Amino acid sequence: MKRHLLSVLAVSTALVLAACSSTPDNASRAPVSQGDGGLSGPLVGARWNLLLMGTDERLSMPQPAFFQITRDGKIAGSDGCNTFNGTVGLGESQRIEVGELATTRMGCAKLEDAKRVTGMLENAYRYLIDHDRVVFFGPDSRVLGGWRKAN
């Protein structure tokens, strides 16, 4: 139990330190580029399933919410109700920029929660990966939510 508590404490500390490392203003939110070789890194190619909104809110959606990023700078997935696709750029210091996000906004009992999921992606500024989880931070260093890597 102590070991688990220390592990959780270490992850929480890392998240706080990453969030506090810099507080960019909106003017510095410049797009990032993918470079000549395409995107690479631990976010690319894997399927990431929604874990939490914010720091502790679990959503119960009609379908699993997830996203995948391809080497050619595309992002696609589901917000729990509808499919979406767009573009993504990854930069230095775990910088991420999701753009041109389009969804199939069809009727759904959880449409407001689905909009929150895509809103998280659109507002993501930085990310932090810890083992099989990724946390997105907004431009104000606030935790937007977390995702877990699918097996």
Domain spans in the chain, listed from the N-terminal domain onward: 2-149
- For the cut 60, the answer to whether the pLDDT of residue 2 exceeds it is no
CATH topology (fold) of 2-149? Lipocalin (2.40.128)
The identity of residue 118, as a single letter, is T
The 10s digit of each residue's pLDDT in 83-117 is 999 999 999 999 999 999 999 878 889 999 999 99
Beta strand 83-91 with 74-78 is: antiparallel
pLDDT digits (tens, 9 = 90+) for 24-81: 433 333 344 455 678 999 999 999 999 999 999 999 999 999 999 999 999 999 999 9
| pLDDT for 151 | 81
41: its two tokens: 């890194």
